[in-house]
Amino acid sequence: MWQARGVLLVAVAVASVVPDGAGAMAAGRCTTSTPVKAYDKCIALPTQGATLAWTYDARNATLDAAFTGSFISPSGWVAWGVNADAPVMTGARVLAAFSDPSTGALLALPFVLSPDVKIQASPLVSRPLDIPLLASSASLLAPARTVRDGARVTIAATIRLSPNRTRIHFVWNRGLYVQGYSPTIHPTDASDLASHATVDILTTATEASPIASTALQWLHGSLNALSWGLLLPVGAAVARYLRPCASTGPAWFYAHAAIQATGYTMGAAGFALGLVMGAASPGVTYRLHRGLGIAAATAGSLQTLAVFFRPKTTNRYRKYWKSYHHLVGYGCVVVGVVNVFQGFEVMGLGASYWKLGYCLALATLIGACVALEVNAWVVFCRRQQEEKLTRREVEDVVVKDRAAAF
């Protein structure tokens, strides 16, 4: 895409405060009038309330663009750039705006997002870009005079493109902290991971990664929290603590089977929704959450299949099947509960009342299990003592009978 490969140093841009009239650029509403200059075209980018305005000069293949985004913390950063190969972060050349740790002035420094940066194998260090960047600057929008949460910033750049190549891959994002002059990793919400788009700068046609609807996310989360996070643990507790009660008869088994079947069905539906959302949101990946979900779904499926191969009580392999059933079942419960908490973090509900409510429900279940476990051990020890006394009485009677016989 790039016509030249010469290394160009990018100047540090000192912060400037724009007039109040420039504040017309509201979050998510684009305008061709920016603090830097007036442009020909503009679009509202699909995430983070960001906008992009530009003028393209076809005669010399020059793109004059201004990206506007918002900070999410006083010590945060906002970045925008281009990728010559694909609409992804890896391989992108970006400009990051943040406060100078020494002077407090606003900087716009160049960065190359190599694969090492994505896996956090090395810190992000500013270096000259290997693209024909002709000019760059960064400025805060009034009324903000310093970087703060919600402050809007415009990053402007002039880039020379290859002739007749008008479909440009743009990427952008924002983060909470800057360590020295190195921006740290950005949040991993769905909107953050989907902050990239391909724009035709002649027609303004935009191709962006779709994001799963909020309703679908909530349905996915609700099904999985109820199934993997509550019903399956309850079903496991029913089997463990009701089975020893002779008064329940086979009722414990039917209750256990019904609860687990319902929980697995709901969990499978929630897992399927997760796959649908993943397929509909390319580039948005939660590796830990996905891995735990696959592990829980696999364990649940194995448990379901194992029911059809359960040996009879008189079969010598029955004890091995029971050990397998207990091990995989408890493992599935633990992984499922852990993944529910991971899901809260993915949805940005780590400090919400929804998580608090789930924690209270789970704590109630754990408390009941602890009480039942203590009671089971008390009953077990009491029975052992009674059986021991009974054996002694029987032995005493036998000894007396033998003595009387002699």
- In whole angstroms, what is the distance from residue 15 CA to residue 108 CA? 9
222, 231 Cβ separation under 8 angstroms = no
Domain ranges in the chain are: 33-207, 214-391
CA 175 to each of CA 36, 73, 178: distance values in angstroms, whole numbers, following the listed order: 24, 8, 8
> Distance from CA of residue 362 to its chain's centroid?
22
| Rounded CA separation 52/57 (Å) | 16
CB atoms within 10 A of CB 236: 20
Asked if the bond preceding 143 is cis, omega within 30° of 0, the reply is yes
186 is in an annotated binding site: no
125 contact partners, CB below 8 Å, separation of at least 6: 111, 181, 182
User: Tokens 């998510």 belong to which residue?
Assistant: 28
Assign domain 214-391 to its CATH architecture: Up-down Bundle (1.20)
- How many Cα atoms are found within 13 Å in the side-chain-facing hemisphere of 330? 8
| CB 132 within 8 Å of CB 119 | no
Separation CA 166–CA 199 (nearest Å): 8
So what CATH class is 33-207? mainly beta
C-alpha–C-alpha distance, residues 402 and 405, integer Å = 5
CA distances, 174 to each of 8, 104, 127, 155 (Å)? 24, 18, 19, 13
Residues of the chain with pLDDT under 50: 1-27
Considering Cα of 356, then 362, then 366, then 368, what sign does the dihedral take?
Answer: positive
- Residue 383: its pLDDT value, please? 80
Q: Per the structure block, which two tokens stand in for 381?
A: 């020890």
Distance in angstroms (rounded) separating the CA atoms of residues 224 and 319 = 31
Is residue 196 annotated as involved in ligand binding?
no
Hey, how many other C-beta atoms are within 10 angstroms of the C-beta on 87? Answer: 23
Q: Which of 163, 198, 199, 162 is nearest to 5 (CA)?
A: 162
Can you say how many angstroms the Cα of residue 303 is from the centroid of all Cα atoms in its chain? 27
Place of tokens 């000894």: 399
Amino acid identity of residue 283, one-letter, is G
| First vs last C-alpha separation in the chain | 110
| 400 conformational bin, left if phi > 0, alpha if psi -120 to 50, beta if neither | alpha
CA gap 403, 400 in Å, rounded: 5
Omega before residue 311 within 30° of 0, cis: no
Closest by CA to 131, choosing from 159, 150, 152, 103, is: 159
Residue 169, marked binder: no
CA dist., res. 297 & res. 272, Å (int): 10
Angle between helix axes 318-346 and 287-307 (nearest 10 degrees) is: 150
**What's the burial of 323, exposed, middle or buried (CB within 10 Å: 0-12/13-18/19+)?**
exposed
Q: Binding residue per annotation — 325?
A: yes
